[in-house]
Amino acid sequence: MSKADYQSSQLYKIRHSLSHVMAQAVLEMFPTGKIAIGPPIEDGFYYDFDLPRPLTPDDLTNLEKRMRNIVKQKHTFHRRELSAAEAKELFADQPYKIELIEGLEAGGVDEYGEPTDEPPVISTYKHDTFEDLCKGPHVDHLGQINPNAFKLLKTAGAYWRGDEKRQQLQRIYGTAWENPENLQTYLHRLAEAEKRDHRRLGKELDLFSTEADMLGGGLVLWHPKGGLMRHLAEEFCRREHLAKGYDLVYSPHIGKSTLWETSGHLDFYQDSMYAPLDIEGQAYYLKPMNCPFHILMYKDRLRSYRDLPIRMAEWGTVYRFERSGVLHGLLRVRGFTQDDAHHFVQPDKMPEEIDFVLNFCLHILRSFGFADFQAYLSTRPEGDKAVGDPAQWHDAEKALEAALQRAEIPYDIDPGGGAFYGPKIDLKINDALGREWQLSTIQFDFNLPERFDMTYIGEDGQPHRPYMVHRALLGSMERFFGVLIEHYAGAFPVWLSPVQAVLIPIADRHGSYCERVAERLTAAGLRVEVDTGSERMGNKIRLAQQQKIPYMLVVGDKEQAANQVSVRLRSGEDLGPQDIAAFEKMALETVKNKT
């Protein structure tokens, strides 16, 4: 559902109305409490409060009960408009509302304090005894809300107006749906998502960390097991890139200010860049993108049409500013490694090149087990914001759309949603929970070739401007791994699993047989461990399952005598005894097929 569709939906009204009901219930419990703002959000609603004491889980249960009672009374919502003076009188003992009213009075912000172009109207909605500063929309009456289809989820700290220097408030999050079944489905999905939280699994499986005190926010340490997975993923992708005619290049992490002036990044991207550092009186910037370096390599020598297409790929680590408040595990970081590439193409060869890059993108994503795609095609912005020839934009948009059609990828068009420098495809994948993640992007650039005066000599002996396409397939290694962990809930495909099989001797006397089997499997190219610890077999199996190790190979007297192992899967399935050779063959096939 688009944002606009959602905002005019009944569900949106239900959630918005419940935020009022929640505020009413909170003020019943804390008559001196102060209320701030309470909008509907994706999947639910929240409200921020300034209360005399921290809320407890019991409070939420209590509040939910009160809300249910209020809802059952089927109160009607009444809207009215007020002058600023009237509104200030009405909210005389609600200082946050007073501040919002002053904002509305001054104009330029809405009733949540967010910027708006709309004319300043001060309105309230009232149901039962509770009247709130609000522009709506709401349900007609609370009878339209199923009292068993909402739930309060949690509390969290939130700064008034998101400003760390102002009061800290208590935010209560709730969720609401049309009916109890949808609520249960959502709560189940939420529990699943929590189990799959990549930050939790990252810690449990010892894959990465981002929280070391001395490290700094938004920076990632890839621990040995996560590092191994990243290595396996990168090695696979690099080989595929080489096989497809990409060049692998390497560029530095800092560049002189003149580079970023020429590229225009210092003009239009500086907010996402870090402060410069000084080297011998010259300003250097951490790179937020790799493109200018690839362009320098292109320009290092005269290029002919015979050299094109040039496809430069780099696993380039870039640094972009994010406020510490929005950092989130691997999904929102300050330093990340893009699987970045730039295609430099003759204009008339461009449609084939887009086909090529989209198909390559799908091939790579499928190799990691994603099969469900959704594309967004963003086209030329209105007005004179866009650089470059409109005819070129048109050709580029047509090439992008044609490639999507040929690849049979469902897509939406976001008219005017392209960057100022060119149209693009954003490709999103759906994960095991049906959540949508944007990973890949294929993006034209009519700006940089102009700024760097890039040329190639055409068949006519004359210099021409090449087309330039940016693309990232996995997006960034960090974000992709966050998604991968959540998608697989840590039970990665065998080819990516840090440990692929663990041998579990039932008694000490099976230890040396296990070591021999492990040696053989290791020599065959599998990653194998022997659990020689002193725990009992059941515990060892549980431990291996917690570590999501694909194969547990249990060895007792019978297996040892028969030159076999008893194979158990992390799902709990027991495949029974197998000959070593048969297991080895099966495991190697599974690795090879990336299944």
Question: Interface residues with its own copies (CB under 8 A)?
Answer: 206, 209, 212-216, 219-224, 227-228, 230-231, 235, 238, 242, 247-256, 258-259, 262, 274-280, 282, 284, 286, 292-293, 296-297, 299-301, 312, 317, 319, 321, 323-324, 334-335, 337
Q: Please say which residue, 108 or 217, places its beta carbon nearer to its own copies.
A: 217
Give start and end residues of each alpha helix (H) in 415-504.
Answer: 448-451, 477-488
- The minimum distance between CB 414 and its own copies, in angstroms, equals 32
Return the CA Rg of the chain.
Answer: 29
DSSP helix/strand/coil, 433: coil
DSSP helix/strand/coil, 301: coil
On the 0-12 / 13-18 / 19+ scale of CB atoms within 10 A, 552 is buried
580-592 and 511-523 helices, crossing angle to 10°? 40
Name the DSSP letter for residue 342.
E
Q: Please say which residue, 147 or 335, places its beta carbon nearer to its own copies.
A: 335
Q: Please say which residue, 172 or 528, places its beta carbon nearer to its own copies.
A: 528
Q: Please, how many CA atoms are within 13 Å of residue 579, restricted to the half-sphere of its CB?
A: 3
Q: Which helix (H) or strand (E) holds 474?
A: strand 467-476
Residue with tokens 């609520």: 183
- The minimum distance between CB 529 and its own copies, in angstroms, equals 12
Q: Please say which residue, 293 or 393, places its beta carbon nearer to its own copies.
A: 293
- The minimum distance between CB 265 and its own copies, in angstroms, equals 12
Q: Which residues pair with 426 in a beta bridge?
A: 376, 441
- CA-CA-CA-CA torsion sign (49, 50, 56, 61): negative
Which residue type is seen at 408? E
Q: How many residues would you count in the chain?
A: 595
Specify whether the CB–CB gap between 285 and 257 falls below 8 A.
Answer: yes
Specify whether the CB–CB gap between 49 and 169 falls below 8 A.
Answer: yes
Distance of CA 351 to the CA centre of its chain: 29
Q: Which helix (H) or strand (E) holds 404?
A: helix 390-406
Angstrom CA distances, 418 to 328, 342, 407, 443, stand at 26, 18, 21, 9
Q: Two tokens at 357?
A: 């890059």
CB within 8 Å of 120: residues ≥ 6 apart: 104, 105, 106, 107
CB within 8 Å of 392: residues ≥ 6 apart: 347, 446, 467
Alpha-carbon dihedral 429, 432, 435, 436, rounded to 10 degrees: 0
- The minimum distance between CB 344 and its own copies, in angstroms, equals 12
Which residue type is seen at 16? H
Q: Two tokens at 392?
A: 């070129």
Catalytic sites, residue numbers: 291, 320, 338, 340, 342, 424, 470
Name the DSSP letter for residue 307.
G
Q: What gap in Å lies between CA 130 and CA 22, rounded to an integer?
A: 10
Q: Two tokens at 247?
A: 């060049």
Q: Please say which residue, 188 or 323, places its beta carbon nearer to its own copies.
A: 323
Specify whether the CB–CB gap between 486 and 431 falls below 8 A.
Answer: yes
